[in-house]
Chain A
Amino acid sequence: MPTATQITMVPVVVDNEKCIADKGCRTCIDVCPLDVLWIDEKTGKAHMRYDECWYCMPCEADCPTDAVTVNIPYLLR
C-alpha cells in the first residue's frame, strides 16, 4: 500500500525573527493540547508540523516574545 505526501497550509505561523526556541524556549510546544508544534531541525525555531489545530490559542497567548499567530484553518475561514 504505497503512500504519498500531500501539501497543506497550516494555521499557526511563527515569526522566526522573534522566536527564541533556538535559545531553549519550548513554551508553545509544551502547551499545545494537540502536540502539533515542533522544532524545525533546519532553523531551530518552532513550527507547526501537523495540520491538526483546534485554534485554541495557548501557543499564542503564552509565547514570551509574541512570535506566534494562530489563524483560522483555511477550510473554516
Chain B
Amino acid sequence: MTQLHDITIKDIDVLVIGGGTAGPMAAITAKEKDPKATVMLLEKANVKRSGAISMGMDGLNNAVIPGHATPEQYTKEITIANDGIVLQKGVLEYAERSFDMIQKLDKWGVYFQKDETGEYDVKKVHHLGTYVLPMPEGHNIKKILYRRLRRNRVEVENRYQAVRLLKDSEGIVSGCIAVGTRDAEVIVIRAKAVVLCTGAAGRIGLPASGYLYGTYENPTNCGDGHSMAYHVGAELSGLECYQINPLLKDYNGPACAYVTGPLGGYTANANGDRFIECDYWSGQMMMEFYNELQSGNGPVFLKLDHLAEETIQEIEQVLHTNERPSRGRFHDGRGNDYRTKMVEMHISEIGFCAGHSASGVWVNEKGETTVPGLYGAGDMASIPHSYMLGAFVYGEICGENAVTFASDRTVPQLDEEFILQERDRILAPLRRDDGIPPNQFEYKIRRLVNDYLQPPKITRKMDIGLQRLKDMQQDIPYLYARDPHELLRANEAQHVLDCALMAAQASMYRQESRWGLYHHYVDHPETNNEDWFCHVQLYKDEQEQMACKKRPVDPYVIELDEEEKTAYQRMRIQKVS
C-alpha cells in the first residue's frame, strides 16, 4: 500500500463498485476467470444485506427458458415494450445467456419453482410471451452470493462510498476515490479496470408520502454511479425514459403484477373493473394507470378480494416474507385484508433504472461504457428491462471482460493534483460549523423534481425547474455535515442533484412523446419517428457543460412485423374505456 499525503492508495486489478446483485456476480466471475487477478468489491453498505435484493426476491421477471420462450421472442417483446429504441444486440446477449445463468444459480442453491414433472414453472405476465419464474424461497439469495464471494477470495471492502472515478493521461479509467461512511476516511483504489454496479438512481423524485427514504428503490441507490460515470466522461442514455412504477399507495412496494397476476389478481379501478390488458410494467401501461387515476374511475387498486382463501394465503406467504416483508405490517396497520378489500395503489416517484425501464449509463453487449476501462451492469447500465437476472448476466459479462482488459494493462499513473482537490471537495461539509443540512438540501431538490420534472412534462415548467436546480448548485459550498454519516448524505445529495439536472436536460432535448407516461411531453404529444427514432445520449462536453446528442438505433438483429410493433399501444381494455 502506498500513501499520497494522508491518503491510502490500494492497488487492485479489477475494482467492482456496488455489492448488491450485479456486483457480486462480476467479482466472482472475474476471480473464476483469472484466479491470480486481485479483485475488490467495494460496497457502501455491507454486501451481506445490500441492494435491491437485501431481503431476497420473489421471482425472475424475465427468464428466457427453452420450451417457454426463445431469445428471439424475448428480444422482440422488449423491443416493442420500449417503442423500438433499444440496442437489440444487448438484449439478445442477455436473452441467450439467461438460461445458463438460471442453471448456474440453481447449482449454487437458489431454488426456483418447479412443477410436478420437475420442470421450471414459468408464468405468463408479459403482453406477449411467458417469462416469469417464481422463487418462493428467494430470501436465501444474498447468503448464497456471499458464500461464493468468500470461496473465491474476493476482497470485500464494506462501508465505503465511491465518490469519483479516476482516469489516466490517456483517458482510461484507473480506479476511484472513496470515503468511509463511518469515519470519513478518504482512500484511493487504483485499478486496471472498473465495473460500476451501483444500482438505480432511486432518490430523484419525492415519494408522495414525503418520506425521503420511502422510495421504491433501496435508497442506498441514489445515483452515485450515474454521477460518477458522467463526471469521468461516459455517456448516459435514455434518461428521459424515466422509471415510474405502479405501487401500493404510501408503502411504495410493488403491488405485484408478477406475484399476484399469475394467481388471478389484477389492477382495477374504483369500480373493481380491469382497465388494462396486461400488468407487465411498461410506459404504456403506466399511461393507462395515470389516465385512470385522473379520471372519475380513480383511484386504482390491487384487486384480490375475489380469490379463494388458499390462493390468498399463498400470495401472503410470498409477498409478506421475501422481498419486502414489512408489507404485511403496513397492511395490518391500516386494517387492509386482501380477502375483504381492494388495496389502494399509486404512481411512484420518478427515477433512473434500466432494470425496470431503459435509463442509465450507456453500455454495449460487452458491458463496455463509452470510456475505456469502465464497465457497467445492472440497474445503472442501459440494457432495458433487465431486472435481477439481467443484473446477474451483465455482471458476469462485465466480470469476464474487465479481468481480460486488466490483464493487458500495467499499473496506471494517478493524477495527484486531481485526487487532492477531490479530497478537499468531498470533505468540505465536515469542515464547516454551520450551513445547509444534507436532508434539507435533498428534500428541496426532490420537491422541485416533483413540481417541475415529473410527467406530464411541459417545456415552460421544465425550464423553471432546470433553472431552480442550477441555482441550487450555488448552495453546494454551504453544505454542512456534523459527522461522517451526514457527510455520506451530503455527497449523495450532490449526486441526486446531478441526476435531477440530467432528467431535466434529457427530457427537454427529446421533443416528442414516447414510452407512454415515461416521456409524456405535453408540448410535443405525438411520437415522431422521423426525427426521434434514436437514443438520446447525455454527456459532459468540452466546456464541462451537460449536453445531449442523438445516437442512431443500431440496425435490428431481429426484425419485427407490423402487427407486433404496436402491441403495447393496445393496453386499454376496450369495454371499459
Point out the residue from A2, A50, A61, A72 that lies within 8 Å of B55, measured CB to CB. Answer: A61
Contact with B along A30-68 (1 / 0, CB 8 A): 111111000000000000011011111110011000000
Restricting to B135-181, which residues have a CB under 8 Å from any CB of A?
Answer: 159, 181
* A35-B181, A54-B218, A73-B214 known; A62-B434 Cβ under 8 A: no
Q: Give 17 CB contacts A-B under 8 Å.
A: A2-B434, A3-B435, A3-B480, A32-B45, A52-B489, A56-B54, A56-B326, A58-B55, A61-B55, A62-B49, A70-B326, A71-B329, A72-B329, A72-B333, A73-B211, A77-B330, A77-B334
Please name all residues of chain A whose beta carbon is closer than 8 Å to the beta carbon of B252 when the two chains form the complex: 76
A window 5-46: CB within 8 A of B: 30-35
- In the assembled complex, the Cα of A76 lies from the Cα of B214 at a distance in Å of 8
Asked whether, in the complex, the Cβ of A33 is within 8 Å of the Cβ of B50, the reply is: yes
Task: Decide if A33 touches B214 in the complex (CB within 8 Å).
Answer: no
A3, closest chain B residue (CB): B434
**Which of these, B46, B214, B478, contacts A1 with CB under 8 Å?**
B478
- Complex Cα gap A24–B219 (Å): 28
The CA-CA distance from A1 to B429 in the complex, in Å, is 13
Interface size class of B (residues with CB under 8 A): 35 or more
Q: Does B129 sit at the interface, judged by CB under 8 A?
A: no
Q: Is B547 an interface residue (CB 8 A)?
A: no
Q: Looking at the assembled complex, report how far the CB atom of B55 sits from the nearest CB atom of chain A, in whole angstroms.
A: 6
Q: A34-B45, A35-B159 are in contact. Are A56 and B485 (CB under 8 A)?
A: no
Flag if B330 contacts A76 (CB, 8 Å): yes
Asked if B298 CB lies within 8 Å of chain A CBs, one says: no
Q: Evaluate contact between A35 and B485: CB separation under 8 angstroms.
A: yes
Contact with A along B175-219 (1 / 0, CB 8 A): 000000110000000000000000000000000011111110011
- Number of A positions contacting B (CB below 8 A): 27
CB-CB < 8 A to B324: which residues of A?
56
Residues of A within 8 A of B214 (CB): 73, 75-76
Residue positions of B touching A, CB distance < 8 A: 45-46, 48-51, 54-55, 159, 181-182, 209-215, 218-220, 250-252, 324-326, 329-330, 333-334, 434-437, 478, 480, 485, 488-489
> Would B209 and A33 count as touching, CB distance under 8 A?
no
Besides the contacts A3-B437, A57-B325, A58-B48, what 8 more A-B pairs have beta carbons closer than 8 Å? A30-B48, A31-B48, A33-B49, A54-B215, A55-B329, A70-B326, A70-B329, A72-B330
Q: Which residue of chain A has its CB nearest to the CB of B436?
A: A1
Contacts of B436 in A (CB 8 A): 1
B211–A34 touching, CB < 8 Å: no
B46 touches A30 (CB 8 A): yes
Question: Chain A: residues with CB nearer than 8 A to chain B?
Answer: 1-3, 30-35, 49-50, 52-58, 61-62, 70-73, 75-77
Collect the chain A residues with CB atoms within 8 Å of residue B434's CB. 1-3
Quick one: given A1-B478, A35-B488, are A75 and B219 in contact (CB under 8 Å)?
A: no
A55 and B219 within 8 A (CB):
no
Point out the residues of chain A lying under 8 angstroms from B218, CB to CB. 33, 54, 56
Cβ–Cβ contact A31 & B49, under 8 A: yes
- A1-B435, A72-B326 known; A58 and B485 CB under 8 Å? no
Which residues does chain A contribute within 8 Å of B220, judged by CB atoms? 33-34
CA distance A53 to B212 in the complex (A): 9
What are the nearest 7 A-B pairs in CB distance? Answer: A58-B49, A31-B49, A33-B45, A55-B326, A75-B211, A76-B250, A1-B434
In the complex, what residue of chain A is closest to B45 when comparing beta carbons? Answer: A33
Closest chain A residue to B217, Cβ basis: A54
Report A-chain residues with C-beta under 8 Å of the C-beta of B159. 35
Cβ of B480 and Cβ of A52 under 8 Å apart?
no
Decide: A54 and B333 in contact? CB cutoff 8 A.
no
A38 to B210, CA, bound (A): 25
A62-B49, A75-B211, A77-B333 known; A33 and B54 CB under 8 Å? yes
Query: Roughly how many angstroms separate A32 CA and B437 CA in the complex, as a whole number?
Result: 22
Residue on B with the closest CB to A11? B326
Give the distance in Å from the alpha carbon of A57 to the alpha carbon of B325 in the complex. Answer: 7
Residues of B within 8 A of A31 (CB): 46, 48-49
**Shortest distance in angstroms between A77's beta carbon and chain B's nearest beta carbon?**
5
Assembly CA distance A33 to B437 (angstroms): 21
CA distance A71 to B251 in the complex (A): 12
Q: Which residues from A are CB-within-8-Å of B181?
A: 35
Given the known interface contacts A33-B54, A54-B219, the answer about A76 and B45 at a Cβ–Cβ threshold of 8 Å is no
Give Cα A32 to B159, complex, Å.
Answer: 11
Q: Name the distance in Å between A57's Cβ and chain B's nearest Cβ.
A: 5
* Chain A: minimal CB distance from B145 (Å): 14
Q: Report chain A residues within 8 Å CB of B211.
A: 73, 75-76
Docked complex Cα distance between A31 and B250 (Å): 25
Report the Cα distance A35→B524, complex, angstroms. 44
The smallest beta-carbon distance between A71 and chain B, in angstroms, is: 7
Verify A56–B55 contact, CB threshold 8 A.
yes
If the complex has contacts A1-B435, A50-B485, A54-B218, are A76 and B48 also in contact, measured as CB distance less than 8 A? no
Contact between A53 and B45, CB atoms less than 8 A apart: no
Which of B45, B211, B437 gathers the greatest number of chain A CB atoms within 10 Å? B211
B54-A58 in contact (CB<8A): yes
- Given A54-B218, A55-B326, A76-B209, A33-B480 contact (CB < 8 Å): no
**How far is it, in angstroms, between the C-alpha of A72 and the C-alpha of B54 when the chains are bound?**
17
Provide the residues of chain A in CB contact with B435, threshold 8 Å. 1, 3
* Chain B neighbourhood of A50, CB < 8 A: 485
**Cα distance A75–B159 when bound, in Å?**
28
> What are the residues of chain A within 8 A of B485 when measuring CB–CB?
35, 49-50
- A57 and B55 contact, Cβ closer than 8 Å, known pairs A2-B434, A3-B480, A35-B181: yes
Complex contacts, B251 vs chain A, CB 8 Å: 72, 76
Chain B residues, Cβ within 8 Å of A75: 209-211, 214
Contacts of B325 in A (CB 8 A): 57, 61
How far is the CB of B299 from the nearest CB of chain A, in Å? 17
| Complex Cα gap A42–B375 (Å) | 46
